[in-house]
Amino acid sequence: MTTDVKASTRARLLEAAATLTYRDGVGIGVEALCKAAGVSKRSLYQLFDSKDELLAASLEEHASSFVTPLLPAADDGRSPRERIVHVFEQVELQADTPDFRGCRYLAVQVELKDPNHPASQVAHRVKETLTAYFRSAAEQGGAGDPALLARQLSLVFDGASARAGIGADKLPGLLGPTVATLLDAAGMR
């Protein structure tokens, strides 16, 4: 295989893994992944040691496309409080789309249950990045306990994503006031 063919095959496998696991869960079979990518099993195993490695690589590949739309630009002049609120406004917008299934990184951790699984480790790092963002903004905004507030905001983020993802709740009118209450209680400005 030439380098360009390998890159194209790899990209198709990563995209198929991202699409199918988000829609159907991590239990998706190798045959379905290969069929969706238009590649053979042999090609998959030439590029990845296992389906687990493919899943981890796919999550890693899509990490920035998960985090970047959530966060405001670093130099946009918003207050720390407004920067946190922005994240939850973005979740509301995402949750209002017909193909929203919740946070793919949370779903992977819940489905796999094994914190040592390579995909769980990637998901954990991505989720920790979001919590670190909340903590940094909380520190800058004068929160009484920035670490606690960051954990609380992560809990709300995950809960909101999960409930919206399964169609159990609509986020507008619920998420904003919930976050505002937490920020007020923490003394965020």
For the chain, the domains span 3-50, 63-185
Owner of token pair 């995402």: 94
Owner of token pair 């919206």: 164
Domain 3-50 sits in CATH at 1.10.10
CATH fold label, 63-185: Tetracycline Repressor; domain 2 (1.10.357)
For residue 145, the SS3 value is coil
Q: What confidence score (pLDDT) does residue 155 get?
A: 98
The pTM of this model reads 0.91
Q: What confidence score (pLDDT) does residue 2 get?
A: 54
- Residues 165 and 101 sit within 8 Å (Cβ to Cβ): yes
Q: What confidence score (pLDDT) does residue 139 get?
A: 97
Cα 165-166-170 angle, rounded to 5 deg: 70
Is 3's pLDDT higher than 70? no
Q: What confidence score (pLDDT) does residue 75 get?
A: 84
| Nearest-angstrom CA–CA distance, 107 and 102 | 7
How do residues 32-84 score in pLDDT, each as one tens digit?
999 999 999 999 999 999 999 999 999 999 999 899 999 998 889 999 999 99
How do residues 137-187 score in pLDDT, each as one tens digit?
999 999 999 999 999 999 999 999 999 999 999 999 999 999 999 999 999
Q: Which of 185, 179, 180, 178 lies closest to 145, judged by CA?
A: 185
Is 136's pLDDT higher than 90? yes
Q: Which of 50, 52, 57 lies closest to 26, judged by CA?
A: 52
For residue 77, the SS3 value is coil
- Dihedral in degrees, nearest 10, Cα atoms 171, 176, 177, 179: 110
Is 1's pLDDT higher than 80? no
- Report residue 73 as tokens: 């630009």
- Residues 141 and 188 sit within 8 Å (Cβ to Cβ): yes
Q: What confidence score (pLDDT) does residue 7 get?
A: 66
Interhelix angle 104-112/118-140, nearest 10 degrees = 130
